[in-house]
C-alpha cells in the first residue's frame, strides 16, 4: 500500500509481507497472518503489559543498548531538523533535505515526528522509546524465525531506519544480504559471489 501511495519510497519488509503474502505466497501467509490479514505473531492484549514484561525480563545489556539508541535517535532527529531548516533558510536544498525526504514515510520519519512532538524529553518518554525499540527487535527476531531471511536487507535502504537504529538490527540486515555482499570484518565487502 505504501508503494502505491508513494512509489519512489523504498520497500518496507513488513509492509511487503502483509501486502503480498496472502495471495502471492500462501504458505508464508499461513505462518504470519491471521484470518483478518493482521500479523498473527504480535502479542494480543494491552501492549503496555507486554512492554512491562520486556522491561522486567530483558538482560541489562539489552536495556542499556536500547536506552542509548533511543537517545541517539532523538539527537539524530533533532539535528536533522536543524540541518533541514538551515538549508531551507539558505535557499540551498542539500543532503539534509534529501535525507528527510527519503525517510518521511518510514521509521526514520516517525522518529523525527516523535522528537518534534516532545521537545522536552522526560525520562518516561525516553523509557517508552527504548522499550519500543526493544519490542521491535523482539518482534523482528520472532518474524525471522517464522520466515527466515524476510527481506531484512531492505532495512538498510537509505532513509528506512534512523541511522542509530541500524546497529540494533544489523544481524538481521546482514543475514538477509547476499553472502557475497555482506560486510566483512574490517569493513570490506566480498569481491565476488561465494
Instruction: Give the integer Cα–Cα distance in Å for 150 and 175.
Output: 10
Provide, rounded to the nearest whole percent, the portion of the chain with pLDDT above 90: 23
pLDDT in tens, 68-99: 999 999 999 999 999 999 999 999 999 999 88
Q: State the residue for C-alpha cell 504458505.
A: 27
Residue 171: CB atoms within 10 A of its CB come to 14
Three cell numbers, residue 37: 490479514
Those residues whose C-beta lies under 8 Å from the C-beta of residue 158, and which sit 6 or more positions away, are: 10, 99, 102
- Model confidence pTM above 0.75: no
Which pLDDT band holds residue 19 (cuts at 50, 70, 90)?
A: low
Confidence (pLDDT) at 8: 52
More confident site: 182 or 15: 15
106 SS3 class: coil
Amino acid at each position: 500500500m505504501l508503494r502505491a501511495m508513494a512509489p519512489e519510497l523504498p520497500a518496507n519488509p513488513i509492509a511487503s509481507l502483509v501486502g503480498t503474502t496472502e495471495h502471492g505466497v500462501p504458505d508464508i501467509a499461513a505462518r504470519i497472518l491471521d484470518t483478518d490479514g493482521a500479523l498473527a505473531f504480535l502479542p494480543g492484549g494491552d501492549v503496555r503489559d507486554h512492554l512491562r514484561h520486556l522491561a522486567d525480563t530483558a538482560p541489562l545489556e539489552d536495556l542499556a543498548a536500547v536506552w542509548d539508541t533511543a537517545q541517539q535517535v532523538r539527537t539524530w532527529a533533532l539535528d536533522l531538523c536543524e540541518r533541514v531548516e538551515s538549508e531551507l533558510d539558505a535557499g540551498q536544498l542539500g543532503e539534509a533535505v534529501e535525507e528527510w525526504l527519503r525517510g518521511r514515510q518510514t521509521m526514520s520519519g516517525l522518529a523525527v515526528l516523535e522528537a518534534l512532538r516532545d521537545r522536552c524529553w522526560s525520562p518516561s518518554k525516553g523509557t517508552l522509546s527504548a522499550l519500543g525499540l526493544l519490542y521491535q527487535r523482539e518482534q523482528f527476531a520472532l518474524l525471522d524465525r517464522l520466515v527466515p531471511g524476510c527481506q531484512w536487507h531492505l532495512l538498510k535502504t537509505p532513509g528506512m531506519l534512523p541511522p542509530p537504529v541500524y546497529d540494533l538490527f544489523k544481524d538481521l540486515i546482514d543475514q538477509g544480504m547476499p553472502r557475497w555482499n555482506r560486510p566483512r570484518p574490517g569493513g570490506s565487502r566480498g569481491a565476488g559471489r561465494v
